[in-house]
Chain A
């Protein structure tokens, strides 16, 4: 499976390639890229929010649980969102303000999972002079099982 090239951490680079609010078409699929979730990426994410539960770190313990092995925290979609979208995706536009999100969890992501994202803008509107876009996302594992699905409300940069 193809992997993303080295992740560009300068969000200003390629900024001119990204769609502004006016150009975003609700319903139009976003380009996405596959991503292989690693144990190391899960551990780094866990460290950033202070997750210490052994189900994320201890293989022997994880085998005794309902999941039968290591899993990622449900909120790993925070990482997957940026891992699975290319540098010219409008989610990376500098100044994008996250107003809120809702996510439903089906099965956990696991180390080694080849993650696929189906995503689109679902709606856009203006409220109190702010430009909003609602995005809609579903993450799948390599077997085609839904891991989680969610929506986010972002305020677009002016």
Chain B
């Protein structure tokens, strides 16, 4: 396995994140871990209603569960290279429901050196089992000059 370095990275390089099977149990576990007990994630009866112009038809996974999976992908990629996860911006574009299988991935968009450090910008996306985008965003990873590989 080759070690990722700032110099070795190129725009278009890809990062594969972990597959994650979404179940009612995984959603409940995320409620307990995040303390976010919004009925959107717990109450099927409530979710039969409408939310303004939106109808979900059943409970949905926390959007921030996507966020946590993307962040996990970024840190698992960055730590061995001595790099630091510095930023993550995400938008939720489609609800995720029990039974879905989701997976984050990333693609290097750009590299930039600043006065005191080096940075990599990564386009991120989470797709479901149908190949549909459920979340999109952008991450920023710092490759410090004093690399401390783990």
Contact across chains for B79 and A101 when beta carbons are under 8 A apart: no
CA distance A101 to B37 in the complex (A): 18
Interface residues on chain B, number (Cβ under 8 Å)? 45
Interface centre among A45, A47, A55 (most CB of B within 10 A): A45
Partner of B148, one of A65, A78, A128: A65
CA distance A19 to B31 in the complex (A): 23
Chain B residues with a Cβ under 8 A of chain A? 18, 20, 26, 29-40, 46, 51-54, 62-65, 67-69, 71-72, 75-76, 79, 82, 84-92, 137, 148, 150
Partner of A9, one of B30, B37, B54, B72: B37
CA distance A94 to B37 in the complex (A): 9
CA distance A96 to B52 in the complex (A): 11
Q: How many residue pairs between the two chains, A and B, have CB atoms under 8 Å in the bound complex?
A: 134
- CB-CB under 8 A from B36, the residues of chain A are 78, 81-82
Chain A residues with a Cβ under 8 A of chain B? 7, 9-12, 41, 44-45, 47-51, 53, 55, 64-66, 73-75, 78-79, 81-83, 92, 94-105, 128-131, 155, 157-158
- CB-CB under 8 A from A157, the residues of chain B are 51
- CB-CB under 8 A from B31, the residues of chain A are 9
Please name the 5 residue pairs, one residue from A and one from B, whose CB atoms are nearest each other, closest first. Answer: A48-B33, A102-B89, A82-B35, A49-B68, A100-B91
Contact across chains for A97 and B29 when beta carbons are under 8 A apart: no
CA distance A94 to B63 in the complex (A): 15
CB distance from B63 to the nearest CB of A (A): 4
Contact across chains for B88 and A102 when beta carbons are under 8 A apart: yes
Known: A66-B148, A74-B71, A78-B34. A95 touches B51 (CB 8 A): yes
